[in-house]
Every structure is written in structure tokens, then in C-alpha cells.
Amino acid sequence: MTSLNPEPAPALTHPERVAVARLHALLELLPTALDKQLAPVGLTSFEYTLLEALAEADAGRLRLSALASRSNATLPRLSRVVTGLERKGYVLRAPCEQDGRATNAVLTDAGRAARAGAAPLYADAVRHMILDGLDDDGVDDLARLTYAVLDRLDPDRRLAITSEGKAPACAADPSAETPPACAADPAPVADGTCAADPAPAELSVR
């Protein structure tokens, strides 16, 4: 018989509280610090992340849902930022050829140039603020520990970074390196959706 009054969880230990407090501080401080370093080229760190994902994609295009997965964002937030990149002339929206109800984000030549110009600033900022303070083992530890947390936040592995660094393949996002079928949904589904697509209400870790 299930107890109607389950015992409360034990209080956090001091080391646990310190670890979580430091994680909160990191999540608060890092995006702002990266944004400051990219300010001279007129990009935020999240905008740079989107341009980088598109630059690395086949033909410089990704379905918006797949771009959200790669950038750890909710669809509403992604849509707002893509609109801003459209105004700057860095991204275009285009109908998805595989699914007329879906939309692709397409990197423009100006967007590719903006990403290339920002890449050295971003790399220097990341090295200075994060990587230079870690040896090789520390980098591996950071990857392992953050993945352990992400694995709890994203149990369905809808975010690319939780899928061992590889985004789920989807027919709407053609690539020479991925099969034409959606790996997360091998059988066709009635509504044409792909299980690799994040739900609008999914938790963002950025």
C-alpha cells in the first residue's frame, strides 16, 4: 500500500549546496560574459551558436526544430532569435522541401561571413574563461559532469548535445553523412512529425 505521507527528502548536504550554487552562478554569468566578448561584431553568443550550427549543416540549412535541438533552445525562443538574424540579413526562412508545413533556416553569404568573423573572438573568449583553467583531464571531467546533468534534464535526448554530441537524423534535414530516414522515428507517422523535433514546451538548458 502506497503511503499517503511519504517521508520528505533529506536536506542537501553542504557540499551539494555548494556544487548547485556554483552551477547556478555559471549558468548566470557565462552567457553574459560571452555576449560581452562578441559585442564588437554585433552578435550574442546564442546568435553565434545558431550561425555556427547552420554553417556546419549541409547546404547551410536546417529545419527550425532541428536547429532548436542543436542549440538547446525552445522553439519560441529560437523563432524570436532567427527573426532578429533575418533582420540583420544573416538568415532566411524557406519552406522545407520534405514537409511543406515545416520551415528551414538558411544561412546567407552575409551570415557565413559574420560567423567567420566572430569565430576567433568566440574561441578566444571560451579559452580564456573556461578552457585555459583546465588541463586535458579537466576538460574531459567537465564534459562528463555536464553530460550527467543534461542526461537527467533531457531523458528523451531531444537535444543534440545529449545525444552524444550528434543531432538526430531527420529526412527534413538532408545530409550526406546521415541516412534519409529519421533515426528517432524509423516508421512513418501519420502527422508527418519527427520524433527528433523538440516539443515547444521542452526544457531549455541555455
168 residue type, one letter: P
Spans of all domains in the chain: 18-162
SS3 assignment for the chain: CCCCCCCCCCCCCHHHHHHHHHHHHHHHHHHHHHHHHHHHHCCCHHHHHHHHHHHHCHHHEEEHHHHHHHHCCCHHHHHHHHHHHHHCCCEEEEECCCCCCCEEEEECHHHHHHHHHHHHHHHHHHHHHCHHHCCHHHHHHHHHHHHHHHHHHCCCCCCHHHCCCCCCCCCCCCCCCCCCCCCCCCCCCCCCCCCCCCCCCCCCCC
- pLDDT at 67 > cutoff 80: yes
Average pLDDT of the chain, as a whole number: 81
Mean pLDDT on 189-204: 41
The residues, any chain, with a CB within 8 Å of residue 23's CB and separated by 6 or more, are 149
Span 79-94, mean pLDDT?
Answer: 96
On the question of pLDDT at 193 being above 70, the answer is: no
More confident residue, 171 or 122: 122
In contact, 60 and 106? CB cutoff 8 Å: yes
Cα–Cα separations (whole angstroms), residue 41 to 48, 128, 202: 10, 18, 31
How far is Cα 199 from Cα 196, in angstroms, rounded to an integer?
Answer: 9
What is the structure's pLDDT at 6? 72
Task: Determine the straight-line distance between the first and last CA of the chain, rounded to whole angstroms.
Answer: 41
Taking alpha carbons only, the member of 74, 72, 35, 47 closest to residue 201 is 74
Instruction: Provide the CATH topology of domain 18-162.
Output: Arc Repressor Mutant, subunit A (1.10.10)
Residue 198: what pLDDT?
Answer: 43
Mean pLDDT of 25-46: 96
The better pLDDT of the pair 86, 160 is held by: 86
- The predicted pLDDT at position 159 comes to 82
Determine the pLDDT at residue 179: 34
In this predicted model, what pLDDT tens digit does every residue of 89-139 receive, in sequence order? 999 999 887 766 789 999 999 999 999 999 999 999 999 999 999 999 999
Q: What is the pTM of this model?
A: 0.73
Cell of 18: 555548494
Instruction: Report the range of poorest mean pLDDT among 26-30, 130-134, 145-149, 196-200.
Output: 196-200
